[in-house]
Amino acid sequence: MQSGNPNSGGRQPLLWTLVGTTLGLGLLYASTRKIDGAALVATLKSVEWPWVCGILGATLAFIAIKAWRWAILLRFIPGLRFRELHSAVYIGLAINFLIAHVGEFLRTAIVARGHQVAVSTVFASVVIERVLDFIALLLLLALIVALMPDPPDLVAAAAAFSGGFVLLAVAGLYLLMQPPAWATSFAAFIGRPLPERWRERIRRELDRFTPGLAPLRNPQLLLLAILVSVLQWALVILAIWCSGVAVGTSVSLVAATVTFVLIIIGLTLPNSPLQIGTTQLAFVLGVGTDGTGATAAIAASLLYTAFLIIPIMLVGGGLMLWGQANIGRLRRIRV
């Protein structure tokens, strides 16, 4: 639904990015103000490069698993190839690392337009992904509680937030799939003040959105998607662990999992490009649960940024430019 001002859609992401950048710089200052600059440089010079290869390997596997999960949720689209989804995931994440969450809409549009499917129908799969992400997060939090005798208070807060989100999301999706009479009446009541054309557009988009929720009607498919979601995030945790080991710390997988949880919590806020600040504070607090000092934690966070976030941005940006170049060639041929 477009605003009356044609420029408002472009200003909103910019404003979100400016707020995120300001917040990110503040978090970066908070996490680095006590570190020893000379010690940080020395730590980075002594990086164990085989573990850096581990970060890159986990990153490549993470993207492939993420694309596989999306393919599971989009099985209802005939002729959809894994390669298309793989490229779209790279492009979406690359944009997300610049402007948070915008990449989700872009990758949805890429797939929808390539297969003449409504964008709303494909976007339903992204909504399901977010619910699966929080279910996987709950399972990982349960693992932390089981393995860590005294987990940080943030773990309990994250578990409460994740559990509440999952309950609300599942209830909302159920009402969309099988709306009872009271829900239909309530929706009509709250929509009454809107102009008729707006109400009609909302109804049309909901009609397009609902078919994309088809995977929720298949318990076996849904269970597979949950397991793949856990595997997907386990690979990010592995990348965090490799980042810590590469700078000589004895970080545990539990501490790496706490770091991952903190990164996810941070992503609910406006974020700066490259997730600068959010990542650094998450590493200082998360890896610090093992007693790792701030200098080593910051060094590990820089490796994570350099060998997980930046490669994804470079590949995603390259794929986007390549796709635009192909579109340009096709247009010239048609002319």
Whole-angstrom distance, CA of residue 239 vs CA of residue 317: 22
Q: What is the pTM of this model?
A: 0.88
What the block records as the tokens of 16 is: 């979100």
pLDDT of 223 reads 95
Cα–Cα distance between 262 and 278 in angstroms, integer? 9
Chain mean position to CA 120:
19
Q: pLDDT tier at 24 (50, 70, 90 boundaries)?
A: confident
pLDDT category of residue 4 using cuts at 50, 70 and 90: very low
Q: Give a yes or no: residue 266 inside a domain.
A: yes
Q: Write down the pLDDT at residue 104.
A: 93
Instruction: Find the mean pLDDT for residues 48-69.
Output: 97
Share of the chain above pLDDT 90, in %: 54
Q: Look-up: residue for tokens 């849904």?
A: 222
Q: Is 324 exposed, middle or buried (0-12, 13-18, 19+ CB in 10 A)?
A: exposed
Q: Cβ distance 206 to 123 under 8 Å?
A: no
Q: Which residue matches tokens 């499917």? A: 117
Residues of the domain holding 148: 19-28+35-319
Predicted pLDDT at 326: 52
Max mean pLDDT among 132-136, 190-194, 260-264, 286-290 falls in 132-136
Render pLDDT for 28-39 as a digit per residue (tens, 0 to 9). 888 998 888 899
Average pLDDT over residues 220-231: 95
- Tell the residue number behind the tokens 């498919």, with chain if given: 221
Q: Span 263-283, mean pLDDT?
A: 87
Q: Is residue 257 part of a domain?
A: yes
Decide if 244 is inside a domain: yes
Q: How many domains does the chain have?
A: 1
